[in-house]
Amino acid sequence: MSRIAYFGPQGTFTEQAARRLAPGEELIPAETIPAALAAVRSGTADAACVPIENSVEGAVTATLDSLSEAEPLVAVAEALLPVHFSVLTRPGTTEIHTVASHPHALAQVRHWVEANLPGARPVATSSTAAAAVAVDAGEFDAAVTAPVAVEHYPLQVLATEVADVRDAKTRFLLVRAPGELPGPTGADRTSIVAAATNRTGALAELLTELAVRGINLTKLDARPTRNNFGEYRFFIDFEGHVAEPRIGDALAALRRRCRNVRFLGSHPRADNGTTEIEPGAANEDFTDAIGWVESVRKGAQA
């Protein structure tokens, strides 16, 4: 049985994602996202499940930062979960002065809280389930949680299906130490992080290497390197798998342009997205072109 660290404690959205991505495996809660990833780096866990992107709030920056630091890790699978919240209180609570949750959750229920709990003060906790723990301990009055949290903590449900934006989703990754990659499926996602030098056109150069090969971007985030003010790392997700000739060709070009590029994984997409291939950018076009150059070199051009 594999040990899967996840961003906990018990009852987080990430635990639900871990159950989907690693059914039947041993799940080990970690207090923070960096701690879940550190468990894989130290060998305490075989893999980690962490949130990466929310359809309303965007990137989960703790995950981006942790993936770009220390030993490399690669994402081998992803899950997309619908996100709506329950609001939990201690039994018998009559007045709600504080509402606790993960900042991404608070941002997604702001209007609901203003309308239904006017005057209540939002308080950030490390995760949605950590808010439930704090409410149970009497630190705050209400917690905004995943629907499953009520099964883990002795709290009562004040409201369910709470969300300012309908159909919000969060994407989660299953991350391992570098090793065998999942094979290409035809609908995959590849992720890299590149620390582009601070000069004119550096990011445009990287993106152009993808664009000229007809590779569609699915996400782009910038995070400060934390070393020099104004220096950024770019997290780039795009359609395709490193095993494909066209993606391999693009990664080689990115590596030529930027020595400081890290491969963060190729894995099947969970969003039913299809891979758009521009004319001349199919894998056969790349292998055919390489074959043609080889025949030219041998003096055997047809």
Ligand X SMILES: O=C(O)C(=O)Cc1ccccc1
Alpha helices in 43-163 (DSSP H): 61-68, 103-108, 110-116, 128-136
- What character string, x for contact with ligand X (CB under 6 A) and - otherwise, covers 68-87? ---------------x----
Q: How far is the CB of 144 from ligand X (least distance, A)?
A: 9
Task: Give residues 162-201 in contact with ligand X (rule: CB under 6 A).
Answer: 170
CB-CB contact of 102 with 173 (8 Å): no
What are the residues whose beta carbons fall under 8 Å from the beta carbon of 265, sequence distance 6 or more? 74, 75, 76, 173, 175, 181, 190, 191
3-class DSSP assignment, residue 65: helix
Reported residue count of the chain is: 302
Which stretches of the chain are assigned E, i.e. beta strand?
3-7, 26-30, 47-54, 58-59, 74-82, 85-89, 98-101, 121-124, 142-145, 156-162, 169-176, 188-194, 217-224, 232-239, 261-268
- Closest to ligand X by CB, 146 vs 215, is 146
Structure tokens at 133: 């723990």
Our finding on whether 105 is near ligand X (CB under 6 A) is yes
Answer for which of 66, 68, 89, 128 binds ligand X (CB under 6 A) is 128
Stretch near ligand X under the rule CB under 6 A, chosen from 24-32, 123-131, 181-189, 245-253: 123-131
Under a CB-based contact definition with an 8 Å cutoff, are residues 182 and 77 in contact?
yes
Q: Closer CB to ligand X, residue 169 or residue 262?
A: 169
Q: Judged by CB under 6 A, which of 146, 150, 247, 281 binds ligand X?
A: 146
Q: Which is nearer to ligand X, 172 or 286 (CB)?
A: 172
Chosen residue from 21, 102, 235, 246 binding ligand X by CB under 6 A: 102
The nearest distance, CB 1 to ligand X, in angstroms, is 23
Stretch that binds ligand X, among 7-15, 175-183, 255-263, 278-286 (CB under 6 A): 7-15
- Pick the closest to residue 238 from 223, 225, 224, 254 (CA basis): 254
Tell me whether residue 87 or residue 194 sits nearer to ligand X (CB atom).
Answer: 87
Is 13 one of the binding residues for ligand X (CB under 6 A)? yes
The closest alpha carbon to 64, from 181, 221, 265, belongs to: 221
Q: What is the DSSP letter of 82?
A: E
Comparing CB distances to ligand X, the nearer of 85 and 238 is 85
By CB under 6 A, tell whether 9 contacts ligand X: no
Considering the complex, state which of residue 132 and residue 236 has its C-beta at the smaller distance from ligand X.
132
CB of 92 to ligand X, least distance (A): 25
Q: Which of 12, 190, 191, 283 binds ligand X (CB under 6 A)?
A: 12
Q: Which of 4, 7, 117, 241 binds ligand X (CB under 6 A)?
A: 7
Q: How far apart (Å, rounded) are the C-alpha atoms in residues 90 and 109? A: 20
Distances (CA, A) of 4 to 32, 60, 79, 160, 172: 14, 20, 15, 29, 13
66 is a site residue for ligand X (CB under 6 A) = no
DSSP structure class, residue 139: S
Instruction: Give least dist CB 94 to ligand X, A.
Output: 27
Q: Where along the sequence are the contacts to ligand X (CB under 6 A)?
A: 7, 12-14, 51, 54, 83, 102, 104-105, 127-129, 146, 170
